[in-house]
Amino acid sequence: MYAAGRMFVDQHFQEDKKLMMEELIEGIRWAFMDMLDKENDWMDEITKSKAKDKAHSVLAKVGYPDFILNDTHINEDIKRLSFSEKDYFGNVMQTLHFFAQSDIAWLRKTVPRTEWFTNPTTVNAFYSSSTNQIRFPAGELQKPFFWGLKYPRSLSYGAIGVIVGHELTHGFDSNGRKYDKNGNMDQWWSNTSISRFNDKTQCMISQYNDYNWEEAGLNVRGKRTLAENIADNGGMREAFRAYRRWVETERLGREEPLLPGISLSNNQLFFLSYAHVRCNSYRSAAAREQIQSGAHSPPKYRVIGAMSNYEEFHRAYGCPAGSAMNRGAKSCRRATWGVLDCLSLSLTVEVTGEGARQTEHCPHHSRVGREVSVLRLYPDGNPENGCNTVVTRVLWIVVATEVFGLNPVHIAKIIIYEFSSQKALFQGSRCGRLFNILFIDAVGHLPKQLRRREGTIKKHLKLERQTAPTFWE
């Protein structure tokens, strides 16, 4: 029975929403695969290969099932019902009977993986493990979840984009991992990967167990909400990475215009948009019920939990390590480098009057989520006094590399950043903070005006390998 859904689609759903959702979904699928390649250090290669197959096989359903546009189908359904304005209870019982009969009709039949039966008016999104589908009904594709082409993409990526990543991640969480790419229950993970996964989840269980929700007077149940917390954390990372890639590819690295009257960067708007989606209010009885029987953490902690674990949020809002919104060394899902080789970069940068050299070892995540060896620049060679030196112009280069040993394609990336004396040397008041950098995807894709500098750049670089097993914030 989809008559109301058909009416909603006819009046409120524009087909261009499907096109934008395709962009979001494919971008986030790419981000998931990119993270699997570059950040996942606990899954063995055979299991990882199967995970890629499953991610490629996820079917995305957007808006409405096609059959609701068939007038004959809708009319046949309506003929089976006889509602009365004077019998509300009878109408409800008829509806429940109709749904039960529709479900039973599939008994002992093969349900095509391409079918979906979510009513378009539903304001929610879903992952189906038995069909390996992610579903986004028309009711979900409106503000504050979906913002459309007239608004900065940061708003949509931060809202519906995180939701897309959330649902995709469900296919690989503590429950979704039990189903293969075709939706069949099958242990396709190796025992080693399962064991490592379970070890990793203890951090997140403990993190959410420590949150006390005042409205309920109870602590969050970290184990009960684990699958949803994994999806929240993964979805946010995937959506942000996809957004930064969209800026780099579709806008050639140029930031989107900012919203008028709001002094927030687009990265900050991304996270604000996510928090906006989770804005909610509970009475104490409803809050207690949510803790005791709900699969999700309270909305407040869906925001705090995921953001406090994520270094890109810390960077966007300048949250110091150890603060409420930056768990620092306690963060779950941090990049773990173990015994991987790190690339050390030494580079002398010419500055008016003085030289500077200070090298940080081991990769640091850039704003697009890549592994980057970062050079911190102190103009007078002294971290304490660097802010006082006048700089007229600086050209500095950092080489970014894929994680050694995990990716068969080891492509050195080059980042070039130029700034003049009119721009602030450092962001914020504290000397030594990292610059925002322009990420250029590969040497072969450098703009022509920069490509000719490639030989000169390489002469200034001295690359040294060293083993540095560590965690890197």
The helix/strand/coil state of 36 is helix
Measured in whole angstroms, the distance separating CA 405 from the mean position of its chain's CA atoms is 25
Of residues 80, 138, 40, the one with CA closest to residue 334: 40
pLDDT tens-digit series, residues 108-134: 988 788 888 888 999 999 999 999 999
Whole-Å CA distances, 217 to 222, 324, 442: 16, 20, 52
Question: Which pLDDT value is given to residue 348?
Answer: 29
322-325, long-range: CB < 8 A, 24+ apart? none
Domains in the chain, CATH or no CATH each:
18-58+120-330 (3.40.390.10), 341-467 (no CATH)
In this prediction, residues 2-7 reach a mean pLDDT of 89
- Is residue 249 within 8 Å of 319, Cβ to Cβ? no
Residue 363, beta-bridge partner list: 373
Band of the pLDDT at 410, cuts 50, 70, 90?
very low
CB neighbours of residue 455 within 10 Å: 8
Q: Give the pLDDT band (50/70/90) at residue 441.
A: very low
Beta bridge pairs of residue 137: 63
Q: What is the dihedral angle through the alpha carbons of 14, 20, 26, 30, rounded to the nearest 10 degrees?
A: -150
Count Cβ atoms below 10 Å from residue 216 Cβ, excluding itself.
20
**pLDDT tens digits, one per residue of 85-105:** 999 999 999 989 998 998 898
8 Å CB contact between 412 and 345: no
Locus of tokens 């103009």: 379
Q: What is the predicted pLDDT for the residue at 302?
A: 97
Mean pLDDT of the chain: 75
CB atoms within 10 A of CB 105: 8
pTM higher than the cut 0.75 = no
| Lowest-confidence pick of 109-113, 197-201, 239-243, 353-357 | 353-357
Closest CA to 433 of 367, 351, 345: 367
Write the pLDDT tens digit of every residue in 197-219: 999 999 999 999 999 999 999 99
pLDDT of residue 264: 95
Active site amino acids: 167, 232
Whether the CB-CB separation of 142 and 108 falls below 8 Å is answered with no
**HSE-CB of 302 using CA atoms within 13 angstroms:** 25
Give the C-alpha separation, 371 to 401, whole Å: 6
Q: How far is CA 119 from CA 7, 68, 87, 216, 430, in A?
A: 11, 9, 24, 32, 53
CA 442, 448, 450, 454 dihedral sign is positive
Q: At residue 183, what is the residue type?
A: G
Closest C-alpha to 378, from 442, 433, 441: 433
Distance in angstroms (rounded) separating the CA atoms of residues 185 and 446: 46
